[in-house]
Amino acid sequence: MGGGNGSYMPGQALLALALALASLVASGLPVGAEIHQGPEAAAAEATGITIPSLDGRGNNVARPRQGQAARPYARMAPRAYADGSGAMVGGPAPRYVSNRIFADGGLNLFSEQDTTQWAWVWGQFLDHAMGLAQGGTEAANLDFDASDPLEQFTNDLGSIGFRRDAASPGGAVREQVNTVSSYLDAWNVYGGTSERLEWLREGPVDANLANNGPHLLLDADGFLPRRSERGNAATAPTMDLQGRLRATPANATVAGDVRANENIALTTVHTLFAREHNRIVDLLPATLGDQRRFDLARRVVIAEQQYITYREFLPAMGVNLPAYRGYDPSVNARIANEFATVGFRAHSMVHGGISGAVGVDDLSPEEKAALAAQGIAISSPEFGRIQVTIPLHVGFANPDLVEVLGIDMILDGLAHLRTYANDTEIDDQLRSVLFQVPGPGVTDPSQCQDDDDLTLCFTGVVDLGAIDIARGRDHGIPRYNDLREAYGLPRITSFTQLTGEATDQFPVDPAIDPDNPLDDPNILDVISVEPPGDAQRVVRRTTVAARLRAIYGTVDQVDAFVGMQAEPHLATSDLGQLQAAMWRKQFRALRDGDRFFHANPGDRSLHVIRQRYGIDHRVTLSAVIERNTDVAPGTIPTDVFKLGG
C-alpha cells in the first residue's frame, strides 16, 4: 500500500538519512549534491543553497525516483477491478446518477464557511502542480439516455465521451501513471522537462539552457506567451486544447502545465506567478549570473506556493495538520491514486461565473461590444466602475479574455465572492456543458448567462460529475465504505448516517409517482432554502439519502466520489469526514516527505536567500497579487480565501 504513514520517527529518520548520504558518497556524488537533469537543477553549493530537480527526482536521496514524474500513483487501498486486474466495475450509469444526485436545477448553494472563489481556483492551480494521469486511447463512452425523464439537455453526440487513462506498462494489475511530480515544486510554473523550460525562458531555443536568461517569457504587457510567440506554433510545447481553442490552437497560452488554458481564472494565476518569478529575478544582483538568478527565483516561488497552501488555503478549508517536526525521509510523499481521483475533486465548489469590476475607461466601446457578443454581461457605470460577469462556459479555453480584462479584475473579483458549497449540487456549466459553446441556433449569446436556461443554448453534453464517477471506476478506486475503511474511518451502516438526513424513504406525496419515483422529476423540487438570498442549505421534496438508497440499494455499493460528496461537513470545514481524512493524510505526507519543504530546518537555503538578498518567501497570496498588479494595497483582503479576511 503506497503513501506516507505520516508518523515521525526521529531515530529512524536520522538513520535513513545517514544511509542515504553514505550511498551518495559511495556512488561518487558529493554530499549535498542534487540528482538532476541538467543546469536547471544546480548542485548544492558552498553558499548552502540547494535547488530541486524539475521532475522530482532525487528529492528523497535514498529513493531518488520516489515522487518523480512519470511514475505510478501510490495506493492507500486495494485496487477494485471487476476481474481483479483492470476491468472497470459496473454500477448505475454515471449520467443517470448525476441527473438524480448532482443536478442543481439552477439553484446555487454557497459555502457555509465564508470561503471565497479563491478556494476552487487555488485548489485547481495546486492540483495541476502535483497530479495528472497519463491519458489513454481506450474509449469507454458514458451512456446518455435522451428518454430519461430527468434529462433536460439535448446531446447530439449521443453519448458522453470518456477514455480510460493509460495503464502503467508491465504490471499484472492495472495502475495509472502520474505524469507530473508529486511534490509541491511549482511544476505548474516551470514544467518538468528542460525542453519545456527552455521554451518558457527568455532566450533562444537551441537545446542549451546555459544561454537562456533568468526571466520567464512574457509579452510586453506582462501576459503569458502564446504558442505562436516564437514563430512556429507547431514547435511550441504541448498544451491541452479544449472548446474554442481547438479551432485556434496557436492562440493557446504556454505555461509549465498543459492545462493552463482551462479557464480564465486558472490562466490568470499562471500569469501571476510567472510575473512573480520575474519580479524576484529583478531583485537579485546581476553579478550572480543568469542561471543562478533563475534558480534562486524558482526556489522562492516553490516556497511561496507551499507557504500559501499550508498557511492560508488548508486552514481556510478547515484542514488542520499536526505541528511540523521536520523532514522525515521515511515518509512516502507520492500522490495517492485515491486522493487524485476522488479526494481532491471538489467540482461542486466551482462557480458558474466569474465577476469583477473595472474602471469605466478601462474598456473601449469596441471592447465592450465584443465582450457582449460573447455573452458577457456588462453593468451600467456606478461610482466610476462597471461590473463584468463572465459565464463559465465563456471563460473556458479563452485566454484572450485575460488580456482584454486584465488579471487585476479577475484576481480581485475571486476574493470578493463566496464560492459554491462543496456538496452534491454541481453547476450545469460543469455538469452538462463543460467546454461546450452555444449551439448554432443561438443568435443572442446574452441569453446564455449562468442564471439563464442553458438547455436552450447547447446541443452537446459533457458531464464532469458523471466523469468523476467513471474515473473512479477506471482507476479501480474502491467503493465509498471500503475507502472510508482504508483511511481509518468506521464503515457507514445506513444512508441517513451517510448524509446526516432524517430519512432515506420517499415521502407519500401526490406529486411523486409511488411506483417509480426515480423517474419522476418532481423528486428534485425545491421546498425551501436557507438563509434566503444567500442559500447554504436546501430542502428538496426528497432527501439525498432516499435517492441514493433507490439508486444503489446498499451503502456498500455507493461510488466513492458520490458518497464523499454526500457527507455532511465537519463543524468548521467545507469538507466531509472522508474528504477531510484524505486531505490530511496526503498533505501531511507532502509536507513531511519533502526535503525541500519551505519550513524544513535541515535545509537553510531559504534562510540564506532571505539573509543575503532580503527576499522572504513567507508571503500571503494577497501580497503576491499586490506586488504584481495594479490592485491597490488594502483593496484586496489580507486573506483572500475568506470573505472579509
Tell me what the mean pLDDT of segment 293-314 comes to: 98
Q: Are 219 and 295 in contact, with CB atoms under 8 Å apart?
A: no
Across-strand partners of 74?
336
The CA distance from 584 to 339, in Å, is: 10
* Beta-strand runs (E) in 139-197: 142-143, 159-160, 177-178
pLDDT of residue 401: 96
Tell me what the mean pLDDT of segment 182-209 comes to: 96
**For 205-226, what is each residue's pLDDT tens digit?**
999 999 999 999 999 999 999 9
Q: Which residues of 567-580 are buried (b: 16+ CB within 10 A; e: fewer)?
A: bebeeebbbbbbbb
CB neighbours of residue 445 within 10 Å: 18
**For 421-452, what is each residue's pLDDT tens digit?**
999 999 999 999 998 888 888 888 888 888 88
| pLDDT > 70? residue 11 | no
- Residue 622 grid coordinates: 494577497
Which secondary-structure segment (H or E) carries 526?
strand 526-530
Model confidence at 114, in pLDDT bands (50, 70, 90)? Answer: very high
pLDDT of residue 446: 82
Tell me what the mean pLDDT of segment 463-471 comes to: 98
Which secondary-structure segment (H or E) carries 21?
helix 10-26
pLDDT of residue 47: 63
The number of C-alpha atoms within 13 Å of 535 and in the hemisphere containing its C-beta is 14
Phi, psi of 472 (to 5 degrees): -60, -40
pLDDT more than 90, % of the chain: 86
With 0-12 / 13-18 / 19 or more C-beta atoms within 10 angstroms meaning exposed / middle / buried, residue 156 is exposed
The CA distance from 584 to 192, in Å, is: 26
CA-nearest of 76, 113, 586 to 310 is: 586
**For 71-94, what is each residue's pLDDT tens digit?**
999 999 999 999 999 999 999 999
Q: Are 568 and 499 in contact, with CB atoms under 8 Å apart?
A: yes
Q: Which residues of 272-303 are buried (b: 16+ CB within 10 A; e: fewer)?
A: bbbbbbbbbbeebeeebebbbbbbbbbbbbbb
The Cα angle at residue 34 between residues 594 and 16, in degrees rounded to 5: 55
pTM for the model stands at: 0.92
Tell me what the mean pLDDT of segment 275-296 comes to: 97
DSSP state, residue 550: H
Tell me what the mean pLDDT of segment 338-342 comes to: 98
Q: Are 645 and 639 in contact, with CB atoms under 8 Å apart?
A: yes
Least confident of 47-51, 417-421, 508-512: 47-51
Length in residues, the chain: 645
Q: Are 168 and 185 in contact, with CB atoms under 8 Å apart?
A: no
